[in-house]
Chains A and B, each alone.
Chain A
Amino acid sequence: MEREVGLDQLGDLALHIILSKLGPEDTVRVSCVSRRLRLSTSEDSLWALFCFQDLQLSTPQDHQGNPASSFKAAYQLWREAFAMYPWPLVKRVKRCWDKLKNWLSNDFPEVEATLRSGASESDIQQLETRLKVKLPLPTRLLYRFHDGQERTDEGHSSTWLGSSLGIIGGYSFYNHLVNVYLLPISQVIEGTRMVIRHLGFSSRSKYIVVAASAYRPKKFFLNCTNGQLYVGTSNLPTDGEMIQCVPNALIRSVHDLHGDQQQDAMLLWLEEHGRRLENGIIKVCEEGNVRSISLFPEVPPLCSTAVTNGVQVIVVRASAAFVPELANLQDSAEKYLFAYSIRMSLLPGGCIIDGMTFSSCQLNWRHWIIRANEAIISDVNGEAVIGQFPLLHPGEDEFVYESCTPLSSSSGSVEGSFTFVPGWRTRKEGHLTFKWQGSPCRSQIMFSDKLLHSFLDSMLSPWFWKILSDNKYERLRHCETLF
């Protein structure tokens, strides 16, 4: 006896499971089938699942954070608000912002507070009309979620003094201080117009300024036609010279509404930035009382650590950042500039040599060999670092200093050693000065363009340290005593 199995008899549970496997679009279509089914498809627990899967929502709210009456209503509002975009791209852009905001809320809430709420379609339309460009789809969506950052310093609209809350962050060495903000649409329009006026860009150019440093003239440009991101070099004012930020091969379908593979440089750049922040590759640093995101990497392999061989006493960490705004692609000898940050600390155990305990160590000597590719371009052997002899005490915060070096190639290395003296360099009591021999800190900074994740503004080749193998160096055996 064959009988037709109607849906009613399938049972609510089976139906609920089928609908949850089908997803939101099919569930709506099922609701069109008959009134009976509409009841099952309206169960809010189902829509709670869809809201969570698609948008990571755990409470019903619309895209501006306003509460919605149910998860079903919330999902509907989201779809309607972004109806003009491919839904997979919307989900991806939301995930990108969520990752950044999660990190910010834990590590740097002051920056999270600067994120402006999303631009409207008509805001974006205004930008496109005024600058005569068509934004790539992923960038449009990025602005729909957040319209750049608000600056909090009072008054100045075109000078950004005193701002260290750029979400992209930066670096400082000598007097070169950089901290990059994402610009809101109003600043994108104004900044692009200024660039066109002052830097002589054609008024039909498809470049818009999307991010800029609060201090030094570091500017990021988005090319609206091909979706690539560029950063200006030192020749930007004279020649409009820029360096591309993201591998071209990754950019695709930036103006294509169909398909689900759209990605432009801005989205890739922010996703990579979020990944580095989430993984602790770059962190918040404090200098004086000012906190900012530092682009000097903090973890291997982009940051190298060296310890004094044998007796682990002093730890030296080093990493580098490419400085594109000071690059000069027309100068063959000093094309690229890299800044590096060296951090040194004395471990809490202090310094014990031959049974004698020293409550401090002081840097005495430094030797660098800098190579561009394999050619030695600089060999510096001398006292101090940046004119200082850092005195390290056990368990203290790291002593940090930054410096920089120009290079003719995008690949090179720095090899170096520090010599520390236990105690301090000169003891007025006078009878003993110890000089550490045979166990210098050696590290080699190598930069290589094979690094996978090098395309954040160190597009070409970031520096990174590499620890040379231990067995080349003798263990600490003796100290020479000098009288």
Chain B
Amino acid sequence: MSMAAVETKKITLRTADNHEFEVEEAIAMEFSTIKTFFDENPDASEDTIPLPNVTSKCLSAIIEYCKSHLAFRARETSSSIDEQVRTYDEEFVKARDNESLKELILAANYLNIKALLDMLNQAVADRIKNKSVEYVRRFFGLENDYTPEEEAAIRAENEWAFEGVDPDDD
């Protein structure tokens, strides 16, 4: 016999490194990929959902993020709430190194969490804004595949873009 108690439904997610996470349905629905899956398969609620593209490290961070933002949204909007959201977001990205930032972007992209993706992209943009070409290269771990002449040509064509660059300090 069950009273009409509100049971928070839980959904199980399995990461690439075989960890299982049990999350409340509300949080899982923040992942548009999962939401779409359930919209199209309403009876599949008991299965564990595999997420082969997401590591446990990423997923736990993402779950934290979604939990916190859901809690913020449940409260009344006000400028002090906005301030708290901003602070939370800043803290969320501040301590992460470039690698984990990029991993999070991949995961957020795969799970299709729009707000998180936007916030992470902004964080990346903030980190490479006004930086030198070399800095950006290192950030993305890319090799320079231009010849020196080619690179010089791009710079010459676009002199206006190369003024006022921050000096590299690392």
Contacts and interface: CB of A to CB of B under 8 A. Distances in A.
Interface of A: 1-2, 4-7, 9-11, 13-14, 17-18, 21-38, 76, 79-80, 83, 87
Given A11-B106, A25-B164, 17 more contacts: A5-B102, A5-B103, A5-B106, A6-B140, A6-B142, A14-B105, A18-B125, A23-B129, A25-B163, A26-B128, A29-B165, A32-B155, A34-B137, A35-B146, A36-B142, A36-B145, A38-B154
Nearest to B121: A17
A447 B17 CA distance: 77
A227 to B, nearest CB: 24
A125 to B, nearest CB: 21
Contacts of A24: 161
A33 to B, nearest CB: 5
B124 interface: yes
23 contacts: A5-B102, A5-B103, A10-B109, A17-B121, A18-B121, A21-B121, A21-B125, A22-B125, A25-B162, A28-B154, A28-B162, A29-B132, A29-B136, A29-B161, A29-B165, A31-B154, A34-B145, A36-B145, A37-B140, A37-B142, A38-B154, A76-B157, A83-B159
Given A4-B141, A14-B121, A22-B125, A32 B106 contact: no
Q: Is the interface of B mostly helix, strand, loop or mixed?
A: helix
B138 to A, nearest CB: 10
A37 B129 CA distance: 16
Nearest to A5: B102
Contact of B136 (A4, A21, A25, A33): A33
A438 to B, nearest CB: 53
Contacts of A5: 99, 102-103, 106, 141
B4 to A, nearest CB: 43
Contacts of A30: 128, 133, 136
A1 B99 CA distance: 13
A13 B130 CA distance: 22
A29 B133 contact: yes
Given A5-B99, A22-B125, A32-B151, A10 B106 contact: yes
Contacts of B121: 14, 17-18, 21
B141 to A, nearest CB: 5
A79 B154 CA distance: 15
Given A34-B143, A83-B160, A17 B118 contact: yes
Given A26-B129, A83-B160, A33 B105 contact: no
Contacts of A23: 129
Given A5-B103, A22-B129, A32 B141 contact: no
**Interface pairs A-B: 8 shortest CB-CB:** A28-B161, A21-B125, A5-B102, A7-B140, A79-B160, A25-B161, A17-B121, A32-B133
A79 to B, nearest CB: 4
Interface in B31-52: none
